[in-house]
């Protein structure tokens, strides 16, 4: 268990933003998704999106906020996010389209995981900004955006 005490600053502060950007290129940023019922607490225990078990304590004069940097080390950072992790599900039409989608996701440093033939993009910002980067693949029919209903249908019928 990693013990974290206090808030270092805001992820959009210029100095922290630059450090986080460097770490993102080395896959060193973890996100701690804080449910609404935990947001006002000064002490809580949660697991990051990468599986790091964190015991967090916040000073009385501090308030946790979306984008709070809780840990910043040379090779890793932990940033608080409020709410649940938003996931964008994409399915390539065929193998060639899957290669294109995979290349784009890797080139853009998107955090992804796989659910069978579905690429799940773990969103750290506005879905529209992500979508704008692969609009051509979607509009050409090479990549399909899946709803939660479509995901369940795929699970049931392969």
> What ranges do the domains of the chain cover?
2-82, 86-157
Judged by phi (left if over 0) then psi (alpha if -120 to 50, else beta), residue 110 lies in: beta
Question: Rounded to the nearest 5 degrees, what angle is found at the Cα of 92, between the Cα atoms of 90 and 93?
Answer: 135
Name the CATH code of domain 86-157 (choices 3.20.20.140, 3.30.1180.20, 3.30.70.790, 3.40.50.1700): 3.30.70.790
pLDDT at 67: 94
Q: In CATH, which superfamily holds the domain spanning 2-82?
A: Urease metallochaperone UreE, N-terminal domain (2.60.260.20)
Residues comprising the chain, all counted: 158
Pairing of strands 2-5, 53-57: parallel
Residue 122's DSSP bridge partners are 87, 111
Give me the tens of pLDDT residue by residue for the chain, a chain 158 residues long. Answer: 999 999 999 999 999 999 999 999 898 999 999 987 788 899 999 999 889 999 999 999 999 999 999 999 999 999 999 877 789 999 999 999 999 999 999 999 888 889 999 999 988 778 998 999 999 999 999 999 998 665 455 555 55
Q: Is the pTM of this model over 0.85?
A: no
């Amino acid at each position: 268990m990693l013990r974290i005490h206090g808030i270092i600053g805001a992820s959009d502060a210029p100095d922290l933003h630059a450090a986080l950007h460097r770490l993102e290129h080395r896959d060193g940023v973890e996100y701690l998704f804080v449910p609404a019922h935990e947001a006002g607490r000064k002490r809580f225990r949660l697991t990051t999106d990468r599986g790091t078990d964190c015991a967090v304590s916040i000073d009385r004069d501090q308030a946790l906020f979306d984008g709070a940097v809780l840990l910043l080390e040379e090779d890793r950072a932990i940033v608080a996010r409020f709410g649940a992790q938003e996931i964008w599900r994409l399915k390539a039409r065929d193998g060639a389209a899957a290669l294109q989608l995979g290349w784009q996701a890797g080139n853009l440093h998107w955090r992804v995981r796989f659910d069978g033939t579905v690429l799940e993009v773990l969103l750290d910002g506005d879905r529209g900004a992500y979508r704008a980067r692969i609009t051509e693949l979607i509009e050409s029919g090479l990549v399909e955006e899946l709803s939660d209903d479509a995901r369940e249908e795929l699970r049931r019928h392969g």
